Amino acid sequence: MRFPAIIAKSLTVSARCLRVASLSAAPLFMPLSMGAAHAADAPLHIGYSDWPGWVAMQVAIDKGWFKDAGVDVKFEWFDYSASMDAYSAGKIDADLVTNGDALVMGGNGAKSVMIMLTDYSNGNDIIVGKAGTKGLKDLKGKKVGIEVGLVEHLLLIDGLTKAKMKETDVTLVNAKTNETPQVLASGDVAAAGAWQPVAGQAMKGAPGAHPLYTSAQAPGLIYDVLAVSPTSLNARKADWAKVLTVWDKTVAYIDDPKTQPDAVKIMAAKSGVPPEEYVKYLKGTKLLSVADARKVMVDKDGLGSLYGSSRNADAFNVKNSVYKTAQDVKSYIDPSLTNGK
Amino acid sequence: MTALPDTAYHHQSDAVQARFARIKARDVALRVQGLGKVFRTPKGGETIALRGIDIETHRREFLCVVGPSGCGKSTFVRILAGLETASSGTVFVDGQPVNGPGADRGMVFQGYTLFPWLSVLRNVMFGLEENGESRRTAAREAREWLSLVGLEFFADSYPHQLSGGMKQRVAIARALATRPRILLMDEPFSALDAQSRARMQAYLIEIWKKIDITIVFITHDLDEAVFLADRILVLSAHPGEIAELIEVPVSRPRSQGQMLEREFRATRARLDALIHPPDDEDDVKPAAIKPSIVTRLVAHGDEVE
Amino acid sequence: MGGIASSTPTEAPRPPIADAFGMSPMRRKRRSWFGVPKPLGRRNALSLTILSFILPLLAWSAVSYVPFLWHPLIQVSDPGAVDYLQPGMRVDRETFATEVAAAKEAGTAPPQGIPSNPVYLPAPHEVAAAFWTAITTRPTFGDAIPLPQSLWHSIQIIFWGFTISSILGVPLGVFCGTSPVFARIVEPFIEFVRYMPAPAFGALMVAILGIYDGPKIAIIIIGTFFQQVLVIANTTRRVDGMLIEAALTLGARNLRLVRRVIVPAVLPQLYRDQRILLGWAWTYLIVAELIGTSSGITFFITQQARYQHFENVYAAILIIGIVGSATDIVLALIGRRLFPWAKEEA
């Protein structure tokens, strides 16, 4: 297993605990603050944060491609959880988030529509087994250290289902993700779930520990999306369509081996790390062009579809009391722009 | 008390008698009637600090108040100043009952209470400005008061640049500037060294002679009391009551040399007897000569006394 | 101790019977390091100050450069035949030893490495290099903000947060300190609120004040204000009562008393309180800068920590330390000029 992969992921996920509390107050203030940002001539305010699939936008920003495409956008650089606070408070028109978090914001009052996919997690969330465990099947009747309610929990359930097991076949030990290296090293648990780089540390700390199941085996468990406020989408649909065009151009530029070094340089500068280091992080992320996204934006079950993935996340969120009532996933997804309509 | 044979302090020369007659002929400046003060202790008990104090002082009289520690002399002067309320009784200044601090009574405290952020001049101006004088008038008057206490050249200095005695002279000027009827002084010189204290006593008398002021002066220094006072109010402790009101038979003008005079010594002896009764003293027995680890023996012929 | 038995006629003259009981005068000089503090000489004070920085630096250097001090990990330079090891990876000493032993037993190439500290403790020279890079390098791309500008942004946040907090908090504190009635009305509620964690108001502040500097300044205010009122009130209560009494006998009353006596009397201490409170304001900066759009020096710290670039983290912390103490020294010097009568306080 490659060590430090995507550290930014830690933020994406760790934000979840804080969010539920902070969002609940936000809708109260929405009527006060909504509206100003939706004037037809105002720039579209989009929140983005430190995750390779979203930092990719920096390439388009620096190159001036949005201007070239004739759309006035203003990207606001946030800490991930702060970006969701800002969206929930109605201070920005759109935010780059995971599909699960789009549901969480909506479930707590700040509805959004996912109009575009940026990427999906590709191997950075890992269930680490200690030496001697060969697969998830070996965990039957054993203890697994996991932070209940977070992405690794979702990943474990997904893996167990694939291995034809039930969640009750293992005993969950609730442990902070950052502490899983110590939990695994202590020998009290047979496996632990963590994201990178914590997972890497866990494997280093317990000799012989190795990945049992990773998000690479469950592509689509978490999608990263552009979630737009319904009001703004309704009023400025043509402008949002232009954003998609620019994104397509950006993905092509980053994926092209000829231009990739230049793109990485821009992205690395934004994240504050050397370019050679940033390449590693980029590898852990599968960027999705509009054509790629079209295949995912089809309503069917399973993680291959944004619908299926979101329903899965919705069920998980309800079960773990992130919000109370199941969300109508269909109303959260508008594939029309991705489909070019 | 009666065991004391020396009643010589009762004897007054003709000049002194005439002086007391003159004082008593003046108006009563301060009248204290049935004054009492009870403090409540935190546990719910009561401590009687002062009980049944009755006294009258006349205009331009110099009254000293002495007594053993705990006799309530500080409480007494604080009540006069209006900084504390009496539990019973009334204080009249020029016939008017006192209620809270007021410009008719100036006060000089034991500690240095000059405002450290103000220059000497501004300190003296403070009371004048608080009583509605314009800054210009206040400054002019303050300079006069400063020259009265001999500090006109220090007007622009700051308190921390002055010696203890100078600070108290400024404090006196500050208290006098608002033209009070009575100057209350609560052990004002006790923090000073012996020389400065003697000098300050002389200064105070000079000031007192020049202006129309009645002084109530608290002290624990008995020589100081005899040296300064026309009359000395002696308080007893627990509860604080009047033990005696002594008319000081020492003639005026006063000088340090009078401390050897018969009247001075007699008055001083009477005060000693009132404040430190003989049976109150600790019996000091010669230490038993016994080898001990803390005794450092000295050779024969090496004694110091 | 020398007694009679040890004394001989040839000894120097001494007090005749001093040792009759086997005692000798206690002449051994014992220096006391503690006691009522006496001012140190200027030179001594300066060299001790320098020493107070040199000592931790020496300790840090020792732990970083002396291989047998701490160094709980082995940084792998060559993984040998162990499949999960990689160059640059840091492993427990025990794990490493186990792997070396296992490799020897199996006859495969043993891994190689050098003792190292956790990534959280970079060596002084690494931090020094990062410090230099941080303050000199201009970013080459787009809207990336160089560190000095980030710092300047942070300083502005602190300045406005602290200023607004002070404009409200200092007068309120002074009134609480001078009027028991006022204090009873205000202080219990403030005592209650001050236990609420300022960061928890972040999302609310964003909703009210937008995504830029407003909510950040608000967090600094929330973090500072409540403490400030209580601290200033307590300081005001400790005003020298004699000065107030003196002022009362001179005719000062109510607001004039507050303005002309109480405030000037506590001003040196109040100034010192403000210096301490300013330090507290800095501690709220790290939360403040995670709210709304990302900016400032503590966001730089957060981001670099996320990527485990701890030399950058320490460099930034160092910069904050330098800015903080420089401010404090300047304020102390100003204070000494403003309040010459209260040197030890200001």
**Distance (Å) of CA C224 to CA A265, C193, C208, C276:** 40, 12, 19, 11
Asked whether residue A338 is domain-assigned, the answer is no
Confidence at A320, pLDDT banded by 50, 70, 90: confident
Q: Do chains C and A touch (3 or more CB pairs under 8 A)?
A: yes
Mutation target among B115, B176, B187, B294 for the C interface, most CBs of C within 10 A:
B115
Using CA atoms, how far apart are residues A204 and B153, in angstroms rounded to an integer? 82
CB contact under 8 A, C290 and A82: yes
A117/A129 same-domain check: no
Asked whether residue A263 is domain-assigned, the answer is yes
A101/A135 same-domain check: no
Asked whether residue A156 is domain-assigned, the answer is yes
Higher pLDDT, C111 or A294: A294
A266/A178 same-domain check: no
Which residue from B minimizes the CA distance to C240? B113
Using CA atoms, how far apart are residues B250 and B62, in angstroms rounded to an integer? 13
CB A329 within 8 A of CB A313: no
CB contact under 8 A, B126 and C247: yes
A106/A241 same-domain check: yes
Q: Does C302 touch chain A (CB under 8 A)?
A: yes
**Distance (Å) of CA B108 to CA A206, B19, B172, B183:** 79, 27, 6, 8
What residue segments make up the domains of chain B, in order of their start? 8-104+180-277, 115-179
CB contact under 8 A, C203 and A88: yes
**Distance (Å) of CA A146 to CA A20, A141, A320, C180:** 19, 15, 14, 54
Class of residue A226 by CB neighbours under 10 A (exposed 0-12, middle 13-18, buried 19+): buried
CB A277 within 8 A of CB C307: yes
Q: Which of A286, A280, A303 is nearest to A1 (CA)?
A: A280
Using CA atoms, how far apart are residues C313 and C304, in angstroms rounded to an integer? 6
The answer to whether the Cα torsion of B123, B129, B130, B131 is positive or negative is: positive
CB contact under 8 A, C299 and A50: no
Q: Does B103 touch chain C (CB under 8 A)?
A: yes
Query: Which chains form contacts with chain A, at 3 or more CB pairs under 8 Å?
Result: C
Predicted pLDDT of residue B83:
93
Confidence at A153, pLDDT banded by 50, 70, 90: confident
Say if pTM beats, i.e. exceeds, 0.90: no
Which residue from B minimizes the CA distance to C246? B113
Of C141, C307, C312, the CB nearest to A7: C307
A93/A183 same-domain check: no
Q: Which of B130, B144, B199, B140 is nearest to B168 (CA)?
A: B199
Reported as a single tens digit per residue, the pLDDT across A3-58 is: 233 333 333 333 333 333 333 333 333 333 344 445 567 899 999 988 888 999 99
Q: Which of A197, A159, A215 is nearest to A277 (CA)?
A: A197
A106/A227 same-domain check: yes
CB contact under 8 A, C95 and A207: yes
Phi (first) and psi of residue C90, to 5 degrees: -105, 125
Q: Is the peptide bond before A335 cis (omega within 30 degrees of 0)?
A: no
CATH (domain of A142): 3.40.190.10
A91/A188 same-domain check: no
Q: Which of B283, B239, B300 is nearest to B71 (CA)?
A: B239
Chain C residues touching A58 at Cβ < 8 A:
142
A73/A153 same-domain check: no
Contacts of C1-6 with C-beta under 8 Å, sequence gap 24+, read none
Q: Give the end of a domain, one of A196, A217, A238.
A: A217
Reported as a single tens digit per residue, the pLDDT across C310-333 is: 888 899 999 999 999 999 999 999
A115/A13 same-domain check: yes
User: How many domains does chain A contain in total?
Assistant: 2
Phi (first) and psi of residue C105, to 5 degrees: -65, -40
CB C261 within 8 A of CB C243: yes
Predicted pLDDT of residue B291:
58
Q: Give the end of a domain, one of A217, A247, A280.
A: A217
Q: Which amino acid is present at B161?
A: Q
CB contact under 8 A, B299 and C15: yes
HEC string of chain C?
CCCHHHCCCCCCCCCCCCCCCCCCCCCCCCCCCCCCCCCCCHHHHHHHHHHHHHHHHHHHHHHHHCCCCCCCEEEEEECCCCCCCCCCCEEEHHHHHHHHHHHHHHCCCCCEEEEECCCCCCCHHHHHHHHHHHHHCCCCCCCCCCHHHHHHHHHHHHHHHHHHHHHHHHHHHHHHHHCHHHHHHHHHHHHHHCCCCHHHHHHHHHHHHCCCHHHHHHHHHHHHHHHHHHHHHHHHHCCCHHHHHHHHHCCCCHHHHHHHHHHHHHHHHHHHHHHHHHHHHHHHHHHHCCCCECCHHHHHHHHHHHCCCHHHHHHHHHHHHHHHHHHHHHHHHHHHHHCHHHCCCC
Of C21, C242, C251, the CB nearest to B103: C251
**Percent of chain A whose pLDDT exceeds 90:** 47
Q: Does B105 touch chain C (CB under 8 A)?
A: yes
Q: Are strands A171-174 and A125-129 parallel, antiparallel or unpaired?
A: unpaired
Chain C residues touching B116 at Cβ < 8 A:
341-342
Chain A residues touching C99 at Cβ < 8 A:
207
Across the beta sheet with A191-195, the strand order is A171-174, A143-146, A191-195, A125-129, A210-214
Counted across chains A and C, CB pairs separated by less than 8 A come out at 121
Asked whether residue A339 is domain-assigned, the answer is no
pLDDT tens-place values along chain C, 346 residues long: 444 444 444 555 555 554 545 555 556 677 777 877 777 888 888 999 999 999 999 999 999 998 888 888 888 888 887 776 767 777 778 778 888 888 888 888 888 888 888 777 889 999 999 888 888 876 655 556 678 888 999 999 999 999 999 999 999 999 999 999 999 999 999 999 988 888 888 888 988 898 899 999 999 999 999 999 999 999 999 999 999 999 999 988 888 999 999 999 999 999 999 999 999 899 899 888 888 888 888 888 877 776 767 888 899 999 999 999 999 999 999 998 888 887 654 4
Asked whether residue C240 is domain-assigned, the answer is yes
Answer whether CATH 3.10.20.740 is correct for domain B8-104+180-277: no
Asked whether residue A205 is domain-assigned, the answer is yes
* Cα R_g (chain B), whole angstroms: 22
Predicted pLDDT of residue C24:
56
Confidence at A281, pLDDT banded by 50, 70, 90: confident
Asked whether residue C99 is domain-assigned, the answer is no
Q: Is the peptide bond before A197 cis (omega within 30 degrees of 0)?
A: yes
CB contact under 8 A, C21 and B291: yes
Q: Give the end of a domain, one of A170, A197, A217.
A: A217
CB contact under 8 A, C341 and B158: yes
Asked whether residue C56 is domain-assigned, the answer is no
Q: Which amino acid is present at A320?
A: N
Higher pLDDT, A247 or A198: A247
Mean residue pLDDT across chain B: 88
Using CA atoms, how far apart are residues B157 and B153, in angstroms rounded to an integer? 9
A260/A205 same-domain check: no
Predicted pLDDT of residue B302:
73
CB contact under 8 A, A28 and C207: yes
CATH (domain of C206): 1.10.3720.10
CB contact under 8 A, A62 and C290: no
Predicted pLDDT of residue C326:
94
A15/A95 same-domain check: yes
Task: Give the domain extent around C285.
Answer: 130-342
Q: Which of C264, C197, C258 is nearest to C227 (CA)?
A: C197
Of B130, B159, B298, the CB nearest to C250: B130
Phi (first) and psi of residue A22, to 5 degrees: -75, -30
Which residue from C minimizes the CA distance to A76? C293
Asked whether residue A1 is domain-assigned, the answer is no
Which residue has tokens 């972040």? C202
CB A178 within 8 A of CB A148: no
Mean residue pLDDT across chain A: 82
CB contact burial B122-152 (16+ within 10 A = b; e otherwise):
bbbbbbbbbeebeeeebbebbbebbebbebe
Low-confidence ranges of chain B (pLDDT < 50): 1-4
Reported as a single tens digit per residue, the pLDDT across A205-243 is: 677 788 899 888 888 888 999 999 999 999 999 999 999
**Percent of chain A whose pLDDT exceeds 70:** 85
Reported as a single tens digit per residue, the pLDDT across A252-271 is: 999 999 999 999 999 988 88
Reported as a single tens digit per residue, the pLDDT across A116-132 is: 999 987 877 889 998 77
Asked whether residue C165 is domain-assigned, the answer is yes
Q: Which amino acid is present at C288?
A: A
CB contact under 8 A, A61 and C143: yes
A233/A318 same-domain check: yes
Task: Give the domain extent around A239.
Answer: 8-121+222-332
HEC string of chain A?
CCCCCCCHHHHHHHHHHHHHHHHHHHHHHHHHHCCHHHCCCCCEEEEECCCHHHHCHHHHHHHCHHHHCCCCEEEEEECHHHHHHHHHCCCCCEEEEEHHHHHHHHHCCCCCEEEEEEEEECCCEEEEECCCCCCHHHHCCCEEEECCCCHHHHHHHHHHHHCCCCHHHCEEEECCHHHHHHHHHCCCCCEEEEECCHHHHHHHHCCCCEEEEEHHHCCCCCEEEEEECHHHHHHCHHHHHHHHHHHHHHHHHHHCCCCHHHHHHHHHHHHCCCHHHHHHHHHCEEECCHHHHHHHCCCCCCCCCHHHHHHHHHHHHHHCCCCCCCCCHHHHECCCCCCCC
